[in-house]
């Protein structure tokens, strides 16, 4: 997996800094976050520098529930969602790609959760993210 870009603890990730790194993926970023801000107004975003990974990550949350983690890459960005096994059927029945479904089915378990990561390259990745956000919000 590609290493995150935002490794300077003293440089808060502003939009200008983010867009300078993600390049053409800016359009995908704007689409995802426009959806979050209009469809899911109760979601908030928290940037934090994590010493263990030596980089800034964006956590998207609903109250105390983490929806996903976002990291910045060179010319792209990725969103990682963590689901318990009870989400498996919802994920398999969803409109996300077969590749993402396989990633989840075969993913490593961390206690009771598995991760699912979208690296944004295409317009359809935005739709996959919307589906996974909806699944995450539907779970208790």
Checking if the pLDDT of 80 tops 90, the result is yes
- pLDDT tier, 3 (very low <50, low <70, confident <90, very high otherwise): confident
Q: What is the pTM of this model?
A: 0.94
Residue 93 lies in a domain: no
- pLDDT tier, 1 (very low <50, low <70, confident <90, very high otherwise): low
* Rounded mean pLDDT, 115-128: 97
CA distance 49 to 90: 32
Residue 1 lies in a domain: no
Residue 23 lies in a domain: yes
- Domain extent, residue 42, equals 15-80+116-138
Task: Count how many domains the chain has.
Answer: 1
Residue 57 lies in a domain: yes
Q: Give the pLDDT confidence of 13-30 residue by residue, as tens digits.
A: 999 999 999 999 999 999
- Tell me the residue length of the chain: 140
Residue 100 lies in a domain: no
Residue 19 lies in a domain: yes
Question: pLDDT exceeding 70 applies to what percent of the chain?
Answer: 99
Residue 85 lies in a domain: no
Residue 24 lies in a domain: yes
Nearest to 136 by CA among 122, 116, 121, 119: 116
């Amino acid at each position: 997996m590609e290493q995150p870009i935002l490794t300077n603890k003293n440089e808060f990730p502003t939009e200008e800094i983010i867009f300078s790194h993600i390049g053409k993926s800016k359009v995908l970023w704007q689409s995802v976050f426009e959806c979050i801000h209009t469809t899911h107004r109760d979601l908030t975003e928290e940037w934090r520098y994590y010493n263990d990974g030596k980089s800034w990550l964006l956590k998207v949350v609903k109250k105390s529930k983490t929806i996903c983690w976002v990291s910045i890459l060179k010319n792209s960005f990725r969103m990682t969602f963590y689901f318990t096994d009870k989400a498996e059927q919802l994920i398999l029945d969803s409109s996300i790609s077969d590749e993402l479904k396989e990633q989840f089915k075969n993913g490593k378990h961390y206690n009771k959760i598995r991760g699912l990561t979208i690296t944004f390259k295409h317009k359809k990745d935005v739709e996959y993210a919307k589906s996974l956000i909806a699944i995450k919000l539907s779970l208790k």
